[in-house]
Amino acid sequence: ERAGMEPVCLQLEGHSQWNNAAAPNDATKLGPCDNSGGSGDAPTGGTQWWHKSNRNSDGECCSGLRVWNTDQCLNANGVTTGVCSLTDEHSAYLTKSGRLRVGGLCLSVASGEDQRLRALDCEKAIQWRKRNSFEPIEFTLMSDATQAEWRKNNAGRKEPAVAQE
C-alpha cells in the first residue's frame, strides 16, 4: 500500500471466475483488493486468493503459491502463472520481511502510475502482506478429530512457503 493510494492486490489477469485455465498460463496484475473475505469469511471471488502449493525438493509442502480453486501457480518470474505441478518448479513464497520471492528475484511494482509488476533484486523490491486470511471450507468440513490430528501432525513444522531469512 502506498500513501494516499487505495490498496491493490495481486491477481490473475485473464480469469474472471474460479476454474482451470482456458490456456495453460495466465498473467498477473494488480487490482483493487476484493475485501469480501474479511474477518475470516470465505471470499466470493477467486482471482486474488492465493494459497500454498507444490512440493519442496524434499517432498514436503510447499514451494509455491497457487490461485485458489484454479490450476494456476505463480511462475518464477512472478508476472505469469502456469499449471501447477507436484515439483518445486514454481518456487514462490512470502519472506519474513514481506518480500514476495519468485525464483531468485522478488516481485515488485514499477514506479509510476501504471503499477506494472516486475521481478527485481529483493533489496529493491516492495513489501507485501497477507490480507483477509480464512479457513477453507474443505478444512471446516472435517470432523473435529480429523482437524485435531492434522494440527498435531503439522505442529512444529516450518511455515510452508515462508522463507527463513
Per-domain residue ranges of the chain? 8-154
Q: What is the pTM of this model?
A: 0.72
Looking up cell 513444522, which residue turns up? 157
CA distances for 25 relative to 68, 85, 97, 98, 125, angstroms: 15, 13, 29, 26, 24
- What would the pLDDT profile of 114-154 be if each residue is shown by its tens digit? 678 989 999 999 999 888 777 777 778 889 998 888 788 76
- What would the pLDDT profile of 26-84 be if each residue is shown by its tens digit? 888 888 887 654 555 555 567 888 888 877 777 777 788 888 878 888 888 878 888 88
**Topology, domain 8-154:** Trefoil (Acidic Fibroblast Growth Factor, subunit A) (2.80.10)
